[in-house]
Amino acid sequence: MVLSAATGMPFGPFRPVGACSVMYLSLEDDEIELRRRFWSLGQAWSLNPVHLDALDSNLYVLPMVGRMGPLVELDPTGNPTTGAAYDQLCDAVVKLGIRFLIVDPKSRAYALDENRSDHATAWVQALERLVAIVPGLVVMFTHHSPKGLAGQDRMSADLVFRGSSGLADAIRWGAGLRTMTAGDAELYGVDHYRNFVELDLVKTNYAPQWPGPVYFERGPGGVLMPADLKRDRALLVAEAFARALADDGGQWSRRDLSRSGSGIKGKLKEVVPGWKASHLDRSIDAALRLGLVEEVQILSGPKSTPKLVLQPVAEPGA
């Protein structure tokens, strides 16, 4: 996301309207590790001189491991307040004209009790003051998730954020990130599912919801690259349906297939992991959309009503 915002290049579902100035406050990874990561990203993204110039102008990476105090802490009376590091960060954001600030992670900049709702709200309010000082600034912070998140069917705001629910209430946009579940791996036909991560929105006040989770695959150096598993799944299902239809040789309408067609549905269950009879209509739609199957009108007799039946599209020269 840092690279995407600083260069204006799209990244998965994220589509920057243009390059902007980005500050990445790294509180957990040192300079050596950050250099390794950005080098790997540069290789994977095939950055050209224009992109490198944009990074040189727009990207500020601050490895602050062991060098910075908390942004929020308790004052002598026990109330949440901003610390000296907050004032320094504010000055830097204003001076450099930053438009996208990432604090990674929250726990390293937070000297409050994460289980208290009023403390969680004070953290978000401190970041909101930065936004008030620098109009147009977007602030994002990372936060740890409960260990049981991997076992949940789907991510939600009350499950993703560790600590008080006040944190989820106070933020305006939130997403959860986790290793792909074994169930989703079966659904999408993925063998090495631990090489994939799932990202899904759990709260959004300023943008529309996504139609569902998106996935990224780990490449060389650990770089995450968008994986269009839904498209791949649709192609797998469509090809399997077209083959089953061709092998059957019958003239099936949608209605006939839903009522019987057990041979075709059985074949799909054999070759497509997680396929169910309830997926039939979506499988037909995918095959039609990808041009592997077509609907044609037939007449069974001189006075019969025309009937739409499905048939595989013949390959050129076949």
Considering 42-51, 175-184, 268-277, 306-315, the range whose residues carry the highest mean pLDDT is: 42-51
Q: Which of 272, 275, 308 is nearest to 293 (CA)?
A: 308
Of 103, 125, 143, the domain-final residue: 143
Residue 150, pLDDT above cutoff 80: no
Residue 204 counted as domain residue: no
Flag whether 100 is in a domain: yes
pLDDT in tens, 25-80: 999 999 999 999 999 999 999 999 999 999 999 999 999 999 999 999 999 999 99
Q: Please say whether the beta carbons of 131 and 93 come within 8 A.
A: no
Of residues 207 and 121, which shows the higher confidence score? 121
- Looking at the fold, whether 254 and 139 belong to one and the same domain comes out as no
d(CA 246, CA 260): 17
The more confident residue out of 116 and 211 is 116
Residue 213 lies in a domain: no
pLDDT score for 273: 79
pLDDT, mean over the chain: 90
Cis peptide before 105 (omega within 30 of 0): yes
300 inside domain: yes
CATH number of the domain that 126 lies in?
3.40.50.300
Contacts of 125 (CB under 8 A, 6+ apart): 170
183 located within any domain: no
Q: Is the CB of residue 104 less than 8 Å from the CB of residue 144?
A: no
Give dist(CA 35, CA 63) in Å, integer: 10
pLDDT at 139: 97
Same domain, 17 and 139: yes
* pLDDT at 101 > cutoff 90: yes
Task: Supply the range of the domain harboring residue 136.
Answer: 2-143
Is residue 188 situated within a structural domain? no
Q: Which of 143, 168, 189 is where one domain is finished?
A: 143
What distance lies between CA 195 and its chain's CA centroid? Answer: 14
What domain count does the chain have?
2
From 143, 165, 184, give the residue that closes a domain: 143
Token pair 């994220």: residue: 14
Q: In the structure, what pLDDT confidence band is assigned to residue 146 with cuts at 50, 70 and 90?
A: confident
pTM of the entire predicted model: 0.78
For 232-284, what is each residue's pLDDT tens digit? Answer: 888 889 999 999 999 998 889 988 998 888 899 999 999 887 788 888 888 89
Identity of residue 88 = Q
295-301 mean pLDDT = 79
Q: pLDDT class for 10, splitting at 50, 70, 90?
A: very high
Within a domain: 192:
no
Percent of the chain with pLDDT over 90: 61
Note the pLDDT of residue 317: 43
Q: What is the mean pLDDT of residues 174-184?
A: 88
With respect to residue 153, please indicate whether it lies within any of the assigned structural domains. Answer: no
Are residues 236 and 122 located together in one domain of the fold? no
Give me the CATH number covering residue 277. Answer: 1.10.10
Q: Can you give the three-state secondary structure of 222-259, one letter per residue?
A: HCEEEECHHHHHHHHHHHHHHHHHHHHCCCECHHHHHH
Given a contact cutoff of 8 angstroms between Cβ atoms, the answer to whether 95 and 133 are in contact is no
The two most distant CA atoms of the chain are separated, in Å, by 94
Give me the long-range contacts of 84-90 (CB less than 8 A, separation at least 24): 85/109, 86/126, 89/25, 89/130, 90/130, 90/133
Rounded CA-CA distance 57/99 in Å is 13
Question: Taking 70 as the threshold, does the pLDDT of residue 304 lie above it?
Answer: no
What CA–CA distances, in Å, run from 22 to 28, 57, 74, 237?
18, 10, 29, 42
